[in-house]
Structure 1
Amino acid sequence: MELEPGSRYDGEDFRDVDLGDASIIDAEFVDCDFSDATLVGARTLRTTFQRCRFERTELYGSTHRNGSYIGCTFDRAAWHGATLESCRLTGSTFTDCRLRPITLTDCDLTLVSFGGADLSGVDLSGLRLREANLTGTRLRGCDLRGADLTGARAGQADLTDADLRGATVDAAVWVAARLTGAKVETDQAMGFAAAHGLLVHPGGHD
C-alpha cells in the first residue's frame, strides 16, 4: 500500500495492512486503527499519529524521525530493533509490548505508560520521562543519565544496576523503586537518604 507524502487520514482502518518497508513522510493519522498491521522496516519522517491504536502491530526494524505519537495505544506491539529520533510519545500507553532492543534518541516520553514493560539495558539517557508511569517496569541496567523523571510513578520499578547519574529524580522514586547497585551522584544519595528519613551529617559528631 502506498501512502502519499503530506496526506491526512482521519478514522481510517489500516488493520492487517502491509506497510512493510514503506516510507511515510509528512503524513497525519488521527483516530486510525493499525491493529495486526505490518510496518516492519518502515520509515516515517515528520509524521504524526494521534489517538491511534496499534494492537499486535509489527513495527520491528522500523525508523521514526521527528514524529509524534500522541495518546496512542500499543498493545502487544513488536518494537524490537526500532529506532526513534526526536519523537514525541506524549500520553501513549504500552501494554505487553516487545521493546528490546530499541533505540531512543532525544525523545519526549512525558506521561507515557510503560507499566510492567521490560526495558532492561535500554539507553534512556537524556530523555524526558516526566510524569511517566513506570510502575512495575523492569529497568535493570538502563542508562538513565541526565533523564528527567520528575513526577514519574515508579512503584515496584526495578532499577537494579541502572545508571541514574545526573537524572532528575523525585523522592517518590527513591522510596518506591528497587535500586540495588544503581549508580548515583552524591547529591542524589543525599536525596535518597532524606526520602528514607535519614539525617545525613557531612562530618563531626553533632
Structure 2
Amino acid sequence: MLIQFFTTGVEPGSCPPQGLKLFRMTMCREAKRPEPLTSEAEAASPPAEGNPTFFRPVPPFQWHKKWSGTSWTWGPTSGDRGWSVEEMEEADAWHGRARGDIEGIWSMRLGGGVLVQVPKVIVGGQPELFRLAWLPEEGRLSRIEAGVTALGEVDDVEDDGAVRFAPPQLTSLRTDVFKMAGELEGVSKMEFLRNLGAEKDELGPDLTEEDTAFA
C-alpha cells in the first residue's frame, strides 16, 4: 500500500507548511502463483484452503464477530511487547467502524476484505494513526496500526534562512492476528436466522415473517 500526501494552501517560499493533505493511495496485491493475479485466474483456479482469495465480495457483517488471537506492539521507549487476546473489547474493534473513530478520517472498504483508514491531513508534530485490516478468508482477521508524525523541523547549523524537515517518523506500531471465536449477539445474520427458526418452533407454525421482522 502506497499513501502519498502533499502540502496545500501554501505558496512556495512564503512560509513552512503546516500540514500534509492526503493526495492518493495505491493498493498492490501479490501472491506466489504461476498465473497472473486476476479475478479471471482466481475463478478458473481457486486458491487452496489457507491461501487468500483476493477477488471476492465480503459482506459487512463478516467484520462483526468475536475475535481472539495475539497482538504485538512496538514503541521507541517501550520496545517490543506481545500478548494474547481472549476476547476483543468493543472499543478495540475499530475494523467494525468503517468510517473511523474520529473526524478527518478517509476510509474505504475494498474487495477481498480490505479496510483502509488513514488521516485526511497530517498536522506537523501531531501523531496520526494509519490503519489497515484484512479478512484473508472467513474466520481470519489481520490488522496493522501505525502511528506516524511528519514535518518535524531539523536544527541546522547553517543559517541560510531555509527550513528543513525530518522524514516521517514511526512513533508506534501494532499488529494483530485473530481468529473468529464466535458470533456477536444481535449482529450476525446467521445467528438471526437461527434465532428466527427457534422462535418459529417455539411459537408455532403459524408465525409469519412479518411477526419476526426487525423493528
TM-score by length of 1: 0.22
Rg comparison, structure with higher value: 2
Name which structure has the greater RCO, CA cutoff 8 Å, separation 6+.
2
Structure with the higher fraction of residues in strand conformation: 2
